A and B are shown apart, each in its own frame.
Chain A
């Protein structure tokens, strides 16, 4: 399973592609794809969004579903989804509904 991560151009904030094609600020709201067709779709959306100057540095990331929650495989992406592990009051984790699964 994969989803599409990126940073928003104007402020650099981490965003993920949502199911309706918008860029969401919480990984919980991201669109998950399960196969090569889905991945191709995400790659095409990423290319278009870069060209439209919405986002920078798009990347398909591997995730698992743990108890129904999205959990990126790499720690790097888990920290990006949550915020700095040393500052629970900053980043996504500070916002409502953000889910922190660092370890």
Chain B
């Protein structure tokens, strides 16, 4: 994985010193909150309901075991013994004291981590496919490009005060596992007919108050033009994006109000000036960054198939886990393992310090010390020999991390919601827990098959509800929580926003409503191969509406 060079080290260490000074001056009263707030936000420090919150960047979701071990140490030493992995592939601590944050940043810097650009109107953490560098279906590893974007965007003077925050995602396989079409810029890595690498470029996607699927600006942008073209987009946005209204300031609104054709023209005009500038990426620079992401040398382990089939025969729990939580690796003797952070009744994305340390140890023992964070709030061990899966599973089981539900109805994305967040209007986590408990039965979950439920506790949509096959949005109505349901959303290569199905449900009704939707799907699906999403696309909303509200219509 990428290792800091002397410049990275110098920048991060200087930032720690600078923020230590700023915190000292704030606590002494030399800086007012008005002065300090933008400074703390630039360092990932938010103020929430119960305490401050510290958001730590995990670039493109790639973590080394030593970094996860440090996160465990910080959780125990400075927080309440746990951390929360987010839909932005980051980690949040929900209870740090402001006075301790400089020490936390210093410890993070010692393992090449920081909180820079995890807040504010700048280019945020660049996200990527969590199976990058390992997936069999990958055209190329998207992370070298994400790293190039990270280096270019870090403390970029022109783009540090954009109209609003800016999120870039990169994916490298036909199957989009990074939801690139709901980002400000989505980059889908492809090869052209000549075998050259480049990107399909999407702009103006986003969720939140005004959701949009991104528009395609380029079918194929050669890889060497990446920075010039992204700069052209950012430059148009920085000049033309609205600064008069926070709610209309994201690039998606500019794209929508300008129109795709005109915006494309504006970007292409800028690009003409930049294409042959110093932003053109020399081939040797791209290849040099790529070397940081060279997969570990994977010895042949042909005994895997025999070991695996033996274990599957004798251990039904392992068999279920192997059915759901493995992803096909480029190397036939290996697999990528999803460690579900969605144990039944647990908090989606939460992990205790002890579990972090266990996973760090397991990564060292079985997975070349590499860990990934998925935007679906799970962890991934990208390279595990199939022959080692059973001992790995046994260790995960012992620490409560072997839930066999990747991609199933209980593998729910949920934002922290009103249990923590100062912006939230309703709780998300208890709803996720209630649904998970309702569908806990493994056989039933597997019978239902692939189904993505995503829950947000407010309109800002950190829980990605618009792209959930079943999306749930918590709102406050007459002082009480109310949950609106959307159906048919999708965050993959066929991105779509869900349709609002009808009136919302109270906290004590929403789990039953989801149950009704799932049962309706089971009643109407053609066969097991037709997923919930496919069935919804074929049937439309009518049978689901009838199942949820039919009785009411008859009564009325």
Q: A interface vs B, CB < 8 Å?
A: 7, 9-14, 50, 52-53, 56-57, 73-76, 79-80, 83-87, 90-91
Contact = CB atoms under 8 A, between A and B. Distances in A.
B51 A12 contact: yes
A86 B51 CA distance: 16
A84 B48 CA distance: 12
Nearest to B97: A11
Contacts of B479: 73-75
Given A79-B49, A83-B50, A11 B481 contact: no
Given A84-B419, A84-B420, A53 B27 contact: yes
Contacts of A85: 419, 427, 430
Contacts of A11: 51-52, 97-99
Interface string B13-46: 0000000000000111100010000000000000
B418 interface: yes
B47 A57 contact: yes
A50 B29 contact: no
A99 B98 CA distance: 27
B77 interface: no
Contacts of A80: 49-50
Contact of A76 (B27, B29, B99, B418): B418
B429 interface: yes
Nearest to B27: A10
A86 B50 contact: no
Interface in B470-489: 476, 479-481
A9 B419 contact: no
B50 to A, nearest CB: 6
A53 B29 contact: yes
CB-based closest 8 A-B pairs: A11-B97, A12-B52, A84-B419, A12-B51, A53-B29, A80-B49, A86-B429, A56-B33
B347 interface: yes
A12 B47 contact: yes
A86 B430 contact: yes
5 contacts: A10-B27, A11-B51, A12-B97, A52-B29, A53-B28
B80 interface: yes
Interface in B340-367: 347
Contacts, number: 73
B416 to A, nearest CB: 9
Nearest to A77: B49
Interface centre among B49, B95, B420, B479 (most CB of A within 10 A): B49
Contacts of A91: 50
B89 to A, nearest CB: 22
Nearest to A83: B50
Contacts of B96: 12
B50, B429, B479: which has the most chain A beta carbons within 10 Å?
B50
A9 B36 CA distance: 11
Interface string B89-119: 0000001111100000000000000000000
A14 B29 contact: no
Contacts of A53: 26-29
Contacts of A12: 47-48, 50-52, 96-98
B241 to A, nearest CB: 28
A84 B481 CA distance: 15
A14 B476 contact: no
B433 interface: yes
Given A53-B26, A85-B419, 18 more contacts: A9-B26, A9-B33, A10-B98, A11-B51, A11-B97, A12-B51, A13-B50, A50-B33, A56-B33, A75-B476, A76-B424, A79-B427, A80-B50, A84-B419, A84-B429, A85-B427, A85-B430, A91-B50
A7 B51 contact: yes
A9 B27 contact: yes
Contacts of A7: 47, 51
Contacts of B480: 75
Nearest to A7: B47
A16 to B, nearest CB: 13
B336 to A, nearest CB: 30
Nearest to B419: A84
A50 B35 CA distance: 13
Contact of A10 (B48, B97, B426): B97
B51 A13 contact: yes
Nearest to B481: A75
B120 to A, nearest CB: 18
A76 B422 CA distance: 8
Contacts of B418: 75-76, 79
Contact of B50 (A10, A14, A52): A14
Interface string B51-62: 110000000000
A80 B49 CA distance: 6
Contact of B419 (A52, A56, A57, A86): A86
